[in-house]
Structure 1
Amino acid sequence: MTAKLRIDAKDRQIVRALQQDGRLSNIDLAARVNLSPSPCLRRVRLLEEAGIISGYTAVVDPKAVGLTITAFIRIALARHDREVVAGFEARVRDIDEILDCYLLTGEADYLLCVLVPDLDAYENFVRTRLHGIPGITSITTNLVYGTVKTSRVMPV
């Protein structure tokens, strides 16, 4: 975040609209939030500069691209010194199959969200990618067999 920005109700409307459809033209966005195009664009640029809007992306259906297995993996580290933690986090950032990595409280230290094509690929992922990371003391996996809700739209 490059600047501190206090957002108002109109900014929140803009953020909600862009979360729902990041491909809206400025003209369509302005109409949707009841602003003229110039002030709308100015607000969007300020939201981007402040880091409130940090980017735009396409939402891809994992199954449509052959990623049929979603696994949530809890990781516990043997030690929590700076070297082990930094090493683990650096390795995780470089593994494409890991979509998200969260630092946790409780029994596990991290929660990973992993996408792979099938169970053979999952086994290979654990054996060749995770087991190769120093400092891991336990790996606990939950496989997803259905999705009730998934969203990247934040309630702003």
Structure 2
Amino acid sequence: MATITLKQNEIHTSGNLPVTNTKANDFTLVKTDLSTSSLSDYKGKRVILNIFPSIDTATCAMSVRQFNKQAAALDNTVVLCISRDLPFAQARFCGAEGIDNVVMLSDFNEGSFGKSYGLEIIDGPLKGLHSRCVIVLDENHSVLYTEQVPEIADEPQYEKALNILK
């Protein structure tokens, strides 16, 4: 269990992020067109998992914009933006913002991704949503980098995550 804060108030996650140098668990999530996508679909590609509570908050929206802009320059890399938002909300946001360099994925059905990766918030006002995290995987989907953002209202360390892949 990780302890994070929301406006300096302690909240907790269901576990801990995957350990570096271990293989990431496969998952299946829902895309904005309601089809499904699995981590295994990106075999041979480097993957950035940008995980956040809700696209309808300023910090979450900013992380999608930043990764959309910065990751586009990285070779053989895909950014998967994951939240519990409905795919319709994710599609609306991307359409309005002109976001096209990331893949939006929803864990709305059961929250199984959040549970499997130990990042589901288990108490406080955001209970059931995902904590703000970044996980970077190599081409074999081994974990290179993880960041559990300690204050959920703060942005992740974009440069630190992206530099792992440069």
Which structure has the larger Rg? 1
Q: TM-score normalized by structure 2?
A: 0.25
Give the structure with the larger helix fraction.
1
Relative CO higher for 1 or 2, CA cutoff 8 Å, sep ≥ 6?
2
Give the structure with the larger strand fraction.
2
